[in-house]
Structure 1
Amino acid sequence: MELVSQLVRLLRDLQDPHKVARFQQLCGVRGSFAGQPSLSNGSCPRQPHQERTDEADGLRGRIVESHSPQVNGTDRETSAIRQEDSSDLAKQKPRRRNSLTGEGGQEFVIDNAFLYYLFTFGTELGNELFYITFFPFFMWNIDAYVSRRLIVIWVWVMYLGQCTKDIIRWSRPPSPPVVKVEMFYNSEYSMPSTHAMSGTAIPFSLFLLTYGRWQYPFIFGLLLALCWCFLVCTSRIYMGMHSILDVIAGFLYSILIMVIFQPALEIIDNFNLTCTYAPLIIISLHLAMGLFSFTLDTWSTSRGDTAEILGTGAGIACASNLNYMLGLMPDPPVSLLPLAVPAITTGLVVKCGTRFLLGVVILLVTRAIMKAITIPLACRIFHIPCDDIRKARQRMEVELPYRYITYGTVGFTALFVVPVIFRVLNLS
């Protein structure tokens, strides 16, 4: 019993939002809201999800707000702090706002610009912009075999992570004491960190899938995976989006999923390639997973993100099947393994850059066209007013089909349509 009580205390300690705030202060992040409580060892009580969001909204106006005469020592000290904050306006960042919900947070001051940009880059390694650039680049310029298997792992890790969040329903670290440097995912629940999960699954799966297939030093691949994982995990604490416990749980959960699915990866990939009915089965399975896996008590970005992930996985799997049936993009024979890393020449860089830029433009145009078609179409089918696109996109009847179809098309385009265009233009 003593061991259990110590474990419970440790978990509560790791969930303490004041530890997140201390880490932020150590990295040079200071909230500029007035009346911020001093950091103590006591933990901040967790509040219900919606109540905490409302509290964060109420803080928006409480930013270095008073310049009136002070009457006592404490007020004079507060005034001096506020004057110091005012002198830092050059380093003060504007309020972040969630483009989907309109939710905003307090302003904050950055004392260490290097860490700010480093952790901003780290958190972007788990965002949509990274996925829509990294996966295609790897697919078109390095190894389609590795990329399609990597996406299978990514889909399962992210899907299970998002569903687990909406089952456990733990709130984000409250503000104050935490400074919300990022706001986009603030409407989601917190446990586990899916950024930490993807930041663990992608680099380590990449390492496991490429080592022995490509010629490079073992220590290089391992160190790259460790640094990538560490940067993404710590960036979520820096951004004020997760407690230490959320990040550790996300890391361990991702490792567990990888251990379970790694033996089945060969079976899944062969099924996607060779089964005649694989596209129909995959599309139906991913649709069912998105519809019946979980329900939300209040809207958040998690449902749309889940549909986006499942749609991308379905599109990639269908493209893989079609490529195999038509004899396109064949995997290199085993006799050629391990593959040697080619010499980096100007011609190679130009060709890779041209493929990447042209391909990403095609994907972005495809996404824009599909969004413009699917949102109004879903609104019309389900008789939902689309005067306010933001509200319409939050309705399940619109959000699920729009995200699933749009990103399914993007995934299919990335692995089938774009490589065909490359062949036509002699860029393969």
Structure 2
Amino acid sequence: YQYPFMFGLILAFCWCSLVCCSRIYMGMHSILDVIAGFLYAILILAVFHPLVDLIDNFNLTYKYAPLIIISLHLALGIFSFTLDTWSTSRGDTAQILGCGAGVACGSHLNHLLGLQLDPAPHSLPLSLSSLSVTVFGKAILRLLIGVIVLLLTRVAMKRATIPLACQIFRVPHDDVRRARQRMEVELPYRYITYGMVGFSLMFVVPCLFHFIGLS
């Protein structure tokens, strides 16, 4: 889509500022954490930006991409779970990795089935449609349905994965909160649950929209 560069820059700056300020306000990170994260993000952007198209093409077209993506994200999750003590960042890491793997697998399946093809080159850049009552109502309806589906997916997977992980690894689950702090429970719970959330976001929800005529 084509939109004013300054508008996108201001929107990105405001969003990043809100996220950073919220982390400081909640006491999850210090100012130095935020500054270090900002600099680290710039470094990652500088390294991976030239490779975005190559990585995206690999993710969409290589037939073993889902297996590689899941294995890589799972390995990163296990590596990050080597801390001796539980922390919220450990769970957040598994959550991010799982969601990323789910999104990547959903994108791969979309491309494989031809459900979300790239627009023709002659139609680019796309322009934003004018806002009307119909467009606004359709957007709100899509938002509500999408959020409900994702929440239901999260609840269902959470209820399934925690007891299953406790049973497999023989962890007492009388106290679910304490059981979730065990690495062998938290890793599969977070990874599978949010992996399915990411997959639903990229594949299940768009298919549902297409089925009910909200594409």
TM-score grouping bracket, smaller chain normalisation: over 0.9
| Counterpart in the other structure of 1:301 | 88
Change (3 A) 1:243 1:359: closer
What SS does structure 2 have at the residue aligned with 1:422?
helix
Aligned with 1:394 (options 181, 193, 211): 181
Matched to 1:245, the amino acid is L
- The 2-side partners of 1:271 and 1:332 are apart by 19
Q: Residue deviations 1:89-117, cap 9 Å, x none?
A: xxxxxxxxxxxxxxxxxxxxxxxxxxxxx
Using the TM superposition, give the Cα deviation of residue 316 of structure 1 relative to its aligned residue in structure 2, in angstroms. 0.9
Structure 2: runs of 5+ lacking an equivalent: none
State which of 53, 57, 80 in structure 2 corresponds to 1:266.
Answer: 53
Match of 2:195 in 1: 408
Distance 1:304 1:233, change over 3 A: closer
Q: Judging changes above 3 Å, is the alpha-carbon distance between structure 1 residues 372 and 346 closer, same or farther for their aligned structure 2 residues?
A: same
Amino acid across the alignment from 1:267:
L
Cα displacement (A) at 1:333: 1.8
| Residues 388-412 of structure 1, C-alpha deviations (whole Å, 9 max, x = no match) | 0001000011100011111111111
Aligned equivalent of 1:326? 113
- Residues of 2 paired with 1:303 and 1:398: CA distance? 12
Give the length in aligned residue pairs: 215
Q: Which amino acid in structure 2 is aligned with residue 332 of structure 1?
A: P
Q: Does 1:357 align with 2:138?
A: no
Q: Is the 8 A contact 2:80 2:93 kept in 1?
A: no
* In 1, Cα distance between equivalents of 2:23 and 2:156: 33
* In the alignment, structure 1 residue 286 sits paired with structure 2 residue 73: yes
Structure 1 pair 267–414 and aligned structure 2 pair: CA distance change class (3 A):
same
Q: 2:130 aligns with which of 325, 343, 351?
A: 343
Does residue 1:314 correspond to 2:98, yes or no? no
- d(CA) in 2 for partners of 1:416, 1:332: 18
TM-superposition CA deviations, 1:308-362 (whole Å, max 9, x none)? 1111111111111111111001111222111111000111111111111111101
Q: Which residue in 1 is equivalent to 2:155?
A: 368
Counterpart residue number, 1:203: none
Shift of 1:297: 3.0
Local SS of the residue matching 2:119:
coil
- Greater helix proportion: 2
* % identical aligned pairs: 67
Letter paired with 2:49: Q
TM-score by length of 1: 0.48
SS at match of 1:216: coil
How far does the alpha carbon of each residue in 1:54-93 deviate from its partner, in whole angstroms, 9 at most, with x for none? Answer: xxxxxxxxxxxxxxxxxxxxxxxxxxxxxxxxxxxxxxxx
Instruction: Give the C-alpha shift of residue 228 in structure 1.
Output: 2.6
In 2, Cα distance between equivalents of 1:363 and 1:231: 24
Gap change, CA 1:234 and 1:305, over 3 Å in 2: closer
Counterpart code for 1:307:
A
Cα distance change on mapping 1:242 and 1:331 into 2, 3 Å: same
Deviation at 1:424, TM superposition (A): 1.2
Give me the whole-angstrom Cα distance separating, in 2, the residues matched to 1:427 and 1:282.
30
**Residues of 2 paired with 1:234 and 1:353: CA distance?**
28
Which 10-residue stretch deviates more, 218-227 or 396-405? 218-227
Seen in structure 2, the aligned counterparts of structure 1 residues 413 and 239 have a Cα distance that, compared at 3 Å, is closer
Bigger CA radius of gyration: 1
Q: Write the letter of the residue equivalent to 2:92.
A: D
Q: What is the CA-CA distance between 1:293 and the residue it aligns to?
A: 3.7
Classify the secondary structure of the residue corresponding to 1:423: helix
Structure 2 residue aligned with 1:385, among 169, 172, 175? 172
* Matching of residue 245 in structure 1 with residue 43 in structure 2: no
| 1:226 pairs with 2:13 | yes
Structure with the larger RCO, 1 or 2 (CA within 8 Å, 6+ apart): 2
8 Å Cα contact 2:59/2:104 also seen in 1 = yes
Query: For residues 270 and 329 of structure 1, what CA distance do their matches in structure 2 show?
Result: 14
Alpha-carbon distance in 2 for matches of 1:289, 1:234: 28
1:422 deviates by 1.1
Please report how far the alpha carbon of residue 241 of structure 1 lies from its aligned counterpart in structure 2 after TM superposition: 4.1
- Cα drift, residue 259 of structure 1: 1.1
Aligned to 1:418: 205
TM-score (norm: length of structure 2)? 0.94
Which secondary structure does the structure 1 equivalent of 2:50 belong to?
A: coil
What is the alpha-carbon root mean square deviation over aligned residues? 1.5
AA partner of residue 47 (structure 2): I
Provide the C-alpha distance between the structure 2 equivalents of 1:241 and 1:424, rounded to a whole number of angstroms.
Answer: 41
